[in-house]
Structure formats: structure tokens, C-alpha cells
């Protein structure tokens, strides 16, 4: 198992909303269905881009106009050849929060 993936899958870690400079910019990314989130406590930081899972993402506690509340973001990606689900809770006032990875079972392909 990849060391970085394993470490980020144990407990919650500090994250920031990638390159978004405001709640409005984050909302634009969410509306496009693709967000960048950065783990800040890895060597140099680890920025991940993911397609959001709309059924698991929750925006009900967010007020983007007032930059208050939180968003719960969930998306799938592959990190260092390991399929993972990224889960993060981001505070809209600071664009900071916590997140972690869930390691997904690799999809097996039938052999010919």
C-alpha cells in the first residue's frame, strides 16, 4: 500500500479549498462538479482534484452569499495508483477544514 494514501486514510487531516479565494469561487467549482482540495500537512502539500459525488456531497449547511456555514464534499479519484474516496468538511468563512481518504477496492477486470 502506498504510504501517503495509507497515512491520509487514517484520521482527519487539515485541508484547504485548493485555489479558491472565496466561497463564491468554491461554489463555482462545486457547480462544475470538480473541486481542488489540498492536504496542508504533507511534504509540500498534496493538492487533489476530484469529481464530486452529488448524492454524497451536502451543501445544506452552506450560505455561499454570506460565506458562512460548511460544505461536506465527497468525490472519487486515484492517488498514486490507488482508487480512493475523498471526504472533506470545509468552513466557508476560512475555506479551511478537515478531510481524509477512504481506500476503495480496486475494480477487478476479467481475464481473457
pTM: 0.90
76-89: pLDDT as tens digits: 999 999 999 999 99
Do strands 46-52 and 34-39 pair parallel, antiparallel, or not at all (unpaired)?
A: antiparallel
**Strand 34-39 versus strand 62-63 pairing type:** unpaired
Task: Decide: helix, strand or coil at residue 52.
Answer: strand
Kindly report, residue by residue over 24-67, the tens digit of the pLDDT.
999 999 999 999 999 999 998 999 999 999 999 999 999 999 99
Q: Assess contact for 78 and 35: CB atoms under 8 A.
A: no
- The percent of residues in the chain predicted with pLDDT above 90, rounded, is 88
CATH topology of domain 3-103: Polyomavirus Enhancer Binding Protein 2; Chain: A; (2.40.250)
Domain ranges of the chain: 3-103
Separate counts of helices (H) and strands (E) for the chain = 2, 7
Residue 108's pLDDT is 54
Q: Mean pLDDT for the chain?
A: 94
Per-residue pLDDT of 91-101, as tens digits, reads: 999 999 999 99
Amino acid at each position: 500500500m502506498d504510504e501517503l494514501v495509507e497515512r491520509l486514510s487514517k484520521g482527519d487531516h487539515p485541508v484547504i479549498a485548493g485555489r479558491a479565494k472565496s466561497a463564491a469561487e468554491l461554489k463555482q467549482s462545486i457547480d462544475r462538479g470538480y473541486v481542488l482540495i489540498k492536504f496542508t500537512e504533507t511534504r509540500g502539500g498534496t493538492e487533489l482534484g476530484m469529481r464530486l459525488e452529488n448524492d454524497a456531497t451536502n451543501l445544506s449547511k452552506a450560505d455561499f452569499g454570506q460565506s458562512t456555514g460548511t460544505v461536506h464534499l465527497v468525490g472519487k479519484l486515484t492517488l498514486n495508483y490507488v482508487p480512493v474516496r475523498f471526504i472533506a468538511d470545509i468552513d466557508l468563512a476560512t475555506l479551511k477544514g478537515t478531510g481524509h481518504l477512504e481506500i476503495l477496492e480496486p475494480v477487478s477486470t476479467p481475464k481473457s
